[in-house]
Structure 1
Amino acid sequence: MELPQLTPASVIEGRWSKNKYKIKKKIGKGGIAEVYLVEDIKTKKEYALKISKDSISINREYELLKKFNKIDIIVKCYEIDDYQIHGENYYYILLEYIEGENLKKYRQQKYLQKNTIIAIILIILKGIKTLYSEEYIITDLKLENIMMDKKNRQLKIIDLGGAVKKGETVKEFTPLYDRANWKCGERVAEASYGIFAVMMIFTKLLLKENIHPKKENIQDVINKIRGLGLGEEIEAYIIEGLLDQNKSVDYFLEGFKKLYRQEQGIQQQMRILLKEKRINYFLGFSIFSFCITIIILFLA
């Protein structure tokens, strides 16, 4: 879908709100929309402006974002409007601007410890559980749609375009996170569909290599997981999430809470051991220095 290329410093004005926004730069692009960092001419506040030619898709996403506005992990949405360029109508929603990177870029730039990755998965599971309680499933959950907010140190899901009612057919998906592409289930919006995507996110955060259903099968992925030396419990939860369609979100939430506590305990033990090692090193060094001093005095 062809969209106008908005240049920095150009201004768009909402047809109905009459609010004006100055374009600063393009920050994202999807199948039917593009996202720009903009500045409100009046308040000088920065926002993310998502623009599309598809009014139905934009209106649907706006309604979903407003419906779930109180869920912390969901990006905040403030306005919907349209504007004209060369006689053509374009539609936009105004979103909070998240200063940071999506999880895919964040993972590429930084080394993530196992307990950090488990914490990320816990936060995502808590977020989708709230959506599930409202009878909605996010069917296009992926690393690129989850932002790491540097300023507020939060995770934010920035795209609800793929969210549908439970039981409906999945229409928006990415092959890597779609269980049907891996021959692990049907393309139906249900809790297990979302859990599969979360476990594939977990797998992608752990692995340093690319995986794709066109190149590998699910057993290949499981073998790669087992080759990481994560421990039997973590491996079991990931594999269950990929293959078992009968486990609930609560089951995985409780399991990952347990895993997180265990990892925190291991890290605490490592810190204690490291501290003791340093103390022993300095104590040994001090005794050695004392002995050398005595020998020097004796020989003097």
Structure 2
Amino acid sequence: MLKRGDKIEGKWYKNEYTILKKIGQGGVGTVYKVVDYKGYIKALKISEDIMSLTREFEILQKLPLLDNIPRVYEIDDWVYRNKRYYYFVMEYIEGNNLKEIINRGKLSIKDILGISLVLLEMMNKLYQLGYIYGDLKLENIIINRRTKKIMFVDFGGVFKKDGCIKEFTPTYDINSWGIENKNLHIERLIFSTTMLIVCLITKREYNPFRTSMKKMLYIVDSLNISEKLKVFIKDGLLNKFNDINCYIEGLKALLIESASNKTIISNDIIINLIFLVSICFLY
């Protein structure tokens, strides 16, 4: 919709933003890299859907103490070609998302397990604060180039514990794969984290409407990884973990084992194990 050089001026705050480039597209809106009137680089998410955009902005405002999410600054509206759009301005995170990273082939098993552990604990922390991150996907997770922290950058799929799911990605949704479950958040968390591990290892995401779980298990069995990791992944996909702490401890054990096994550690380590632990805000 917008191109480089286009300007947006808010109706209420009158702040002007100049479009630099498009950086993302989701179910709710489009995200642009912009520069404000003071010359600061920021991100701007714009949409015609005032309800969804306002809800996302308010959730981000309520989570200011979590340093793994972008800060938000203001919400406003703007008229363009006789149509009203709504937008909010947030911190711009310079870095690469996980999809871009795996396309470059720079993740070892150690990296993948470490990233998955941090993401799981981030989502679990959100849950403890009363929110569920429902739209997990590789494009929504960025590794900050400056701080090396793992960041969530799209909160359109976040909802309150007692609310309805507004957005979700079928790849990481246990129900979309037809796996029997009790509709507990812990089950969804474990399944989505396990599927993330598979996607990062194989460097692709899977469509549950085109790929069966039987096929997924075959793919796992054919991977060049340890038997322990294969069993862990299959148990996670088939919803055999009853306790999230048991899953976390199992993931940590596999991470430690991968760090000590030189045969499966690549030279292109993006995130050091010790650093991963230090940046997780649960520690």
> Which TM-score band applies after superposition, normalised by the shorter structure?
0.7 to 0.9
Higher relative contact order (CA 8 A, sep 6+): 2
Distance 1:187 1:140 in 2: 20
Give the superposition deviation at 1:35: 0.8
Compared with structure 1, are the counterparts of its residues 84 and 186 closer, same or farther at alpha carbon in structure 2 (3 Å cutoff)? farther
1:136 partnered with 2:131 = yes
The structure 2 residue matched to 1:58, chosen from 41, 53, 57, is 53
Q: Which residues of 2 match residues 37-52 of structure 1 at below 5 A?
A: 37-42=33-38, 44-52=39-47
User: Are 1:79 and 1:95, in contact at CA under 8 Å, matched by a contact in 2?
Assistant: yes
Q: Which residues of 2 match residues 26-175 of structure 1 at below 5 A?
A: 26-42=22-38, 44-175=39-170
User: Are 2:132 and 2:160, in contact at CA under 8 Å, matched by a contact in 1?
Assistant: yes
Give the superposition deviation at 1:111: 2.9
Compared with structure 1, are the counterparts of its residues 94 and 189 closer, same or farther at alpha carbon in structure 2 (3 Å cutoff)? farther
Compared with structure 1, are the counterparts of its residues 216 and 66 closer, same or farther at alpha carbon in structure 2 (3 Å cutoff)? same
TM superposition score normalised by structure 2: 0.86
Structure 1: segments with no counterpart, 5+ residues: 272-300
**Aligned length in residues:** 266
Identity of aligned residues (%): 36
Larger helix percent: 1
Letter in 1 for 2:8: I
Compared with structure 1, are the counterparts of its residues 243 and 118 closer, same or farther at alpha carbon in structure 2 (3 Å cutoff)? same
Distance 1:76 1:133 in 2: 20
RMSD: 2.3
TM superposition score normalised by structure 1: 0.81
User: Are 2:176 and 2:208, in contact at CA under 8 Å, matched by a contact in 1?
Assistant: yes
Compared with structure 1, are the counterparts of its residues 248 and 83 closer, same or farther at alpha carbon in structure 2 (3 Å cutoff)? farther
The C-alpha deviation readout for 1:161-191, integer Å capped at 9, x for no partner, is: 1112235443411221222221014695722
Compared with structure 1, are the counterparts of its residues 269 and 177 closer, same or farther at alpha carbon in structure 2 (3 Å cutoff)? closer
Q: Secondary structure at the match of 2:216?
A: helix
Q: Provide runs of 4+ in structure 1 moved above 6 Å.
A: 268-271
Distance 2:149 2:221 in 1: 30
Distance 2:191 2:181 in 1: 11
Distance 1:176 1:78 in 2: 32
